Every structure is written in C-alpha cells, then in structure tokens.
Chains A and B, each alone.
Chain A
Amino acid sequence: MKIKGQVAILDDLDWQILQVLQENAKLTYAEIGNKLHMPQSTVYDRIHTMEEHKVIKKYEAVIDTEKIGIQQITALITITADMKETENIAKKLTGFSQVIGVYTAFSEEIIVAAKVIAKDQVALHSFIAKSIAPLPGVLRIRTSIITKKYKEENFQPPPKEKALKR
C-alpha cells in the first residue's frame, strides 16, 4: 500500500486480503496466508498497515435479529427538503438510534435518504411523524417498507483489473 496525499493506493495483494477479510474477518493471519499462498508475516504487515491508515475502519459482528427473536422492520425514507436545510436535516438524523444510515442524494432535486429500523409499523410511523416531519425544512417524506432482502453487503473489493479487460 502506498499513500498519495490523502489517498491510499492498494496493490493486488492488499485487495486480495481485503476480499478474504470481508468474507470472514475472524480468520487468523496464518489462515489468510494459506488461502492466498503468502507468508503470514506478509499478511500481518499488510493488515497492520491498512488498519493504521484506517483503510480498515473496524471489524463488526453482523447480527441476525430474527435468530434472536427481535422483530423489526426496515424502511427506506426519502425526504424532500428546503435546499438550505438539507445538511442540517441529515446531521440531525444521524443522532437517532432508529436511523442506521443517512445519505444525501441527487435525482431531480437534492434529497436526504435514510434507512430506519423500528419494532413495527406503528413505531415507524410514530418516529417519522414525531421526530422527522417536525424538523425545519422538511417538505415531503416518502417511505418504503422493505418486504424482503435479496442482498445486503458492505463495500466489496472490485474484481481484478485483468478480469475486466476483454
């Protein structure tokens, strides 16, 4: 890995390690080395460098809430807002524990998009009505409740450049 200004430039080996870690972050250095046919000391050095430079921000457990009997719904909400208030609304949303993702996006106009979890539809509506609709600058809210998840992953290292070439 090389640092150019604020950007970390990863080489092929770094990408391979990241890919293995994203599939299973609990593997030991030796196990990763075995998978990628490289010494564990190299794996250690590479991972350590990426951690140090915050390329790897953290390792987290992905919890299956259904397995532990927690019933919850997830909704995607888009907020059309007064342009001047867009950033304030996004920042305020980050402070709610029910909000698990906040984004600003541009389609025909700038919107604030958020991913929200709630116990049920009653709790979801109450949260939106009492905590989001009253925020200054909110003009409209559209909510879609997720009925089924087909794929949900974090960032995945891109396929090798060679594979993309024809």
Chain B
Amino acid sequence: MTVSAARILRSVPREEAFYFFTSIGNYTGQSAASLDEFLQKIKDVNIKSLEFHLYREDFERWIDQTLGDAKLAEEIKDLRNMKVVGNALRDRLYFAVSRRLKDLKSAAPSSK
C-alpha cells in the first residue's frame, strides 16, 4: 500500500502531465504533473475545462492509466455518471481528490 501510494503521488514527466483544455484544441495554459498539482488546478481552472474533460473521460483515464490510481478514477467516473456540472462539479471533484490525497499521504512512506 505504501509503495503504491508513493507511486500515485509522484510527479510525472511533462509529456505525461494533464493539460487542461476548454474544448477541442483550446489549451488553457494550465497543466498538472502530479495529483497534488491537479488538486490546485481544479480549484481555479475554467469550469468549462472541468466539464469538457469529465465528459470525455479524460480525468479518470489520466488518474488511472498515468498515475495508477484506479480507486480515485472510479470515484470520478461516478461523478460523470451523476452528470454533475458547473460549480457543483468543481466542489465535488475537489472534495474527492483532496480526500484521496489525504489518505494517500498518510499511507505513503515519510520523505523525512
């Protein structure tokens, strides 16, 4: 558990980072290379971007396939199935990611 938590919490190279778009080909300039950074970005990024990626399944794909966190990916999939939009989406996404981050950080080996 501790090893996989550390793996999920790692920073990935820039070519594997998550890039926030608002629609096809329209990049906001915001990107996240770790789950920590992802949490910070979903707080501020254009709401259109959150809706665009959620319904394209981009979030769950990146979290599952790049970071390796199937559990959080499943929670995000649930949000998609509930068809959450707007600020409610931002709040629920933020809540799900921050709760998962807290769990992972308490399980990961200390960096000290």
Contact = CB atoms under 8 A, between A and B. Distances in A.
B31 A142 contact: no
Given A129-B19, A133-B19, A138 B27 contact: yes
Nearest to B28: A140
Contacts of B27: 128-129, 132-133, 138, 140-141
A121 B14 contact: no
Contacts of B28: 140
Contact of A129 (B14, B21, B29): B21
A143 interface: yes
Among A121, A124, A133, max chain B CB count under 10 A is at A133
Interface residues of B, number: 12
Given A125-B21, A129-B21, A133-B31, A141 B26 contact: yes
A145 B31 contact: no
A142 B24 contact: no
A77 B26 CA distance: 9
Interface string B12-31: 00110101010011111101
A84 interface: no
Interface in B69-108: none
Contacts of A80: 29
Q: 8 smallest A-B Cβ distances: which pairs? A: A143-B25, A141-B27, A133-B19, A140-B29, A128-B25, A134-B15, A125-B24, A133-B27
Interface of B: 14-15, 17, 19, 21, 24-29, 31
